[in-house]
Chain A
Amino acid sequence: MCRTSSYLNDVLQKIYIMVLVYIESPKGQFKKAAFEAVTYGAKVAAALKTTCVALTLGNVKDAGILGEYGASKVYNIASSNVETFDSQSFTTAIANAAQALNASVVILSHSANGKSLTGRLAVRLNAGTVSGANAVPTLNGGFKVQKSVFSGKAIAEYTIDAPIKVISLMGNSIPAQKTGHSVAVSALDVAVPAPRVKVISTRTADGHVPLPEAEKVVSAGRGVKDPQNWGIIEDLAAAVGATTACSRPVADAGWRPHHEHVGQTGVAIRPNLYIAIGISGAIQHLAGVNNSRVIVVINKDPEAPFFKAADYGVVGDLFEVVPRLTAAFKKFKAN
């Protein structure tokens, strides 16, 4: 009896359209973006009156917890060909899963790897696509998805006109939400070709939240004057629990590593809190940071353009203000 109904369920799942969310699991673990993606998938599925199913690749610890964020089922593809990232093998794995499960919407994270999969998958599945979506699609008069364009200077709404849709979700766009409970993980047997791109090594800074995922960012510019002075910026970041960033000239001068450069030609971020210190607020800098929810600007020049884009402003010498702010944060945390 029980077997029959689960068999029926499987058949039904194949007939009805559903939303498939591919969940990244670097080093076998989920990051915040994973839970955001499932939450998003569950919301899309609810709008389409269908189910949200999560897909993981390779060895993953405790994949069933994706159910807590709205996945009604979790599938895993175990294959030695997905142990390291290659856009072709991963695309084949996800596309085969999407076809086997009859998915009509495929969702990914707009992450480093996600960005090399979204376009590939769209072509493979002959799908319409929007990458970097920042809101749940609306269905009034077509399937409409919105994203930030012109480096944050505008928002565009795309209408997808294709039976299959591939959408990547921009990080920090919607909060992860627990709505359900852990579910069982089923193995999915699909063919995955060997990777043509061979991963030799990875170097990641442990203990730091990467900039695109950071909810709090402390950023500094040329006003800091010398790389030797960065200690006060790092102290503040530590007190706030923030990731550090910088303006372009600072990275170009080699004062800080390239991956900290934010702005139109650097990393685009959307944290809850962005504290900008000794940064003038040039249009190219603002372009990559103006999606931050709350912006605090510290600058000695009251005419600095950044104040126009700020929520809170402090006019003063950063060498005096920043240590004071650090002390204030420490005091706040202690209480």
Chain B
Amino acid sequence: MKIMVCVSKTPDTTAKISFNAANTEFNSAGVAYIMNPYDEWYALVRAVDLAKQFPGSTVTVVHVGRADSDQIIRKGLALEANDAVRIDADPHTALFTAKQLAEHARSKNYDLIFTGKETIDHNGSDVGAMLAEFLDLPFVSYASKMTVAGTTATIERDIEGGVEVVEVKLPFVVSAAKGMAEQRIPNMMGIMKAKNKPLAVVPPVAFTDKAKVTRFELPKAKSGVRMVSADEMDELVRLLHSEAKVI
């Protein structure tokens, strides 16, 4: 089976979020970057395990980004992907990114394409759906469990308040949510091997974006906490009713 895993780079979950003086760009000074957790913990790990189940399979990590992403890509290889492709462009929007990924995938005949359920920076959940549309493939989002037998996959996907069980034939695009796999730490052997695995850098295709971020702002800070004594729960309920007006 030929598997593609799309991975993105996001600020570390503890990163301080700030912007340039004009509030038009994210301020990356001093920010550490990680592989988007959904891509790493769930999509990539599930892909690697699936590849083991079908001998002769390959897992290719594909990333849209600049050279400063190579460390993240190497981590993907350390987690036992076979090779990697970096499309050398800034991933400004989901649409641009999906277009680049689609152009890469078009001629490769992947059997299965994974994304994470969303990125933790733009929180759009868009790339998988767009990629599937560019390639005219079925798309199953928010997969929390997946098995493949022959050319048919059975998938559990999260829906509001429950799960939906679906069946779909390869090839297709799937976005991975919690439950698909367990987070894994690369071992020493994986890290050593990753250094010599192929990482191809390819140019992007021309594409004009249709939307862009024109301003960022930080949420309004809370005005401060009002403490209520542990013995006065009637008072807390009263405040929630008459002051906060939420009950």
Q: A8 an interface residue at 8 Å Cβ cutoff?
A: no
Q: How far in angstroms is the closest Cβ of chain A from B179?
A: 5
Q: How far in angstroms is the closest Cβ of chain B from A88?
A: 6
Task: Give the residues in chain A near B68, CB-CB below 8 Å.
Answer: none
Task: Give the residues in chain A near B168, CB-CB below 8 Å.
Answer: 196-198
Mark each residue of chain A from 251 to 277: 1 if its CB lies under 8 Å from any CB of chain B, else 0: 100000011010011101000110000
A contact residues, range: 35 or more
Contact A129 B211 (CB under 8 A): yes
Q: A85-B164, A120-B133, A265-B120 are in contact. Are A313 and B14 (CB under 8 A)?
A: no
Q: How far in angstroms is the closest Cβ of chain B from A172?
A: 12
Q: How far in angstroms is the closest Cβ of chain A from B7?
A: 15
Task: Give the residues in chain B near A201, CB-CB below 8 Å.
Answer: 164-165
Contact B134 A123 (CB under 8 A): yes
Q: A290 an interface residue at 8 Å Cβ cutoff?
A: yes
Q: Please measure, in the bound complex, the distance between the C-alpha atom of A287 and the C-alpha atom of B12, giving whole angstroms.
A: 12
Determine which of B17, B37, B127, B164 lies in contact with A150 in the assembled complex, contact meaning CB atoms within 8 Å: B17
Interface centre among B41, B120, B132, B175 (most CB of A within 10 A): B120
Contact B211 A113 (CB under 8 A): no
Interface residues of B in 28-84 (CB under 8 A from A): 37-38, 41
Task: Give the residues in chain B near A287, CB-CB below 8 Å.
Answer: 13, 120
Q: B218 an interface residue at 8 Å Cβ cutoff?
A: yes
Task: Give the residues in chain B near A200, CB-CB below 8 Å.
Answer: 154, 165-167
Q: A112-B157, A159-B214 are in contact. Are A313 and B227 (CB under 8 A)?
A: yes
Nearest A-chain residue to B231, judged by Cβ: A324
Contact B124 A132 (CB under 8 A): yes
Task: Give the residues in chain A near B233, CB-CB below 8 Å.
Answer: 314, 321, 324-325, 327-328
Q: A160-B211, A259-B158, A283-B14 are in contact. Are A123 and B95 (CB under 8 A)?
A: yes
Mark each residue of chain B from 164 to 182: 1 if its CB lies under 8 Å from any CB of chain A, else 0: 1111110010010011000
Q: B225 an interface residue at 8 Å Cβ cutoff?
A: yes
Task: Give the residues in chain A near B114, CB-CB below 8 Å.
Answer: none
Q: Please measure, in the bound complex, the distance between the C-alpha atom of A251 and the C-alpha atom of B94, giving whole angstroms.
A: 30
Interface residues of A in 61-92 (CB under 8 A from B): 85-88, 91
Contact B17 A161 (CB under 8 A): no
Q: Please measure, in the bound complex, the distance between the C-alpha atom of A162 and the C-alpha atom of B227, giving whole angstroms.
A: 49
Complex interface: stretch among A180-188, A222-230, A292-300: A292-300
Contact B11 A150 (CB under 8 A): yes
Q: How far in angstroms is the closest Cβ of chain A from B90?
A: 16
Q: A115-B129, A259-B158, A294-B244 are in contact. Are A321 and B230 (CB under 8 A)?
A: yes
Task: Give the residues in chain A near B142, CB-CB below 8 Å.
Answer: 112, 115
Task: Give the residues in chain A near B157, CB-CB below 8 Å.
Answer: 112
Q: A87-B129, A123-B133, A200-B167 are in contact. Are A212 and B120 (CB under 8 A)?
A: no
Q: A119-B128, A161-B211, A328-B233 are in contact. Are A154 and B217 (CB under 8 A)?
A: yes
Determine which of B122, B161, B227, B234 lies in contact with A149 in the assembled complex, contact meaning CB atoms within 8 Å: B122
Q: Please measure, in the bound complex, the distance between the C-alpha atom of A87 and the C-alpha atom of B179, giving whole angstroms.
A: 22
Task: Give the residues in chain B near A153, CB-CB below 8 Å.
Answer: 17, 218-219
Q: B188 an interface residue at 8 Å Cβ cutoff?
A: no
Determine which of A160, A283, A314 lies in contact with B13 in the assembled complex, contact meaning CB atoms within 8 Å: A283
Q: B141 an interface residue at 8 Å Cβ cutoff?
A: yes
Task: Give the residues in chain A near B41, CB-CB below 8 Å.
Answer: 265
Contact A116 B37 (CB under 8 A): no
Determine which of B120, B139, B161, B215 lies in contact with A157 in the assembled complex, contact meaning CB atoms within 8 Å: B215
Determine which of A115, A204, A291 lies in contact with B125 in the assembled complex, contact meaning CB atoms within 8 Å: A115
Nearest B-chain residue to A24, judged by Cβ: B160
24 A/B residue pairs, CB under 8 Å, sorted by A:
A88-B139, A116-B139, A118-B125, A119-B129, A120-B130, A131-B94, A142-B214, A151-B121, A155-B217, A156-B213, A160-B211, A196-B168, A196-B169, A196-B172, A251-B178, A258-B179, A268-B123, A284-B13, A287-B120, A290-B219, A310-B225, A311-B222, A312-B240, A328-B236
Measuring CB to CB, which residues of chain B are less than 8 angstroms from any residue of chain A? Answer: 11, 13-14, 17, 19, 37-38, 41, 94-95, 98, 118, 120-130, 132-134, 138-142, 144, 154, 157-169, 172, 175, 178-179, 210-219, 222, 225-231, 233-234, 236-241, 244, 246-247
Given contact pairs A149-B121, A294-B244, A313-B226, enumerate 18 new A-B contacts (beta carbons under 8 Å). Answer: A88-B132, A115-B118, A115-B141, A119-B98, A128-B95, A128-B211, A157-B214, A158-B211, A161-B211, A210-B160, A265-B38, A272-B246, A273-B240, A273-B244, A310-B222, A312-B226, A312-B244, A332-B247
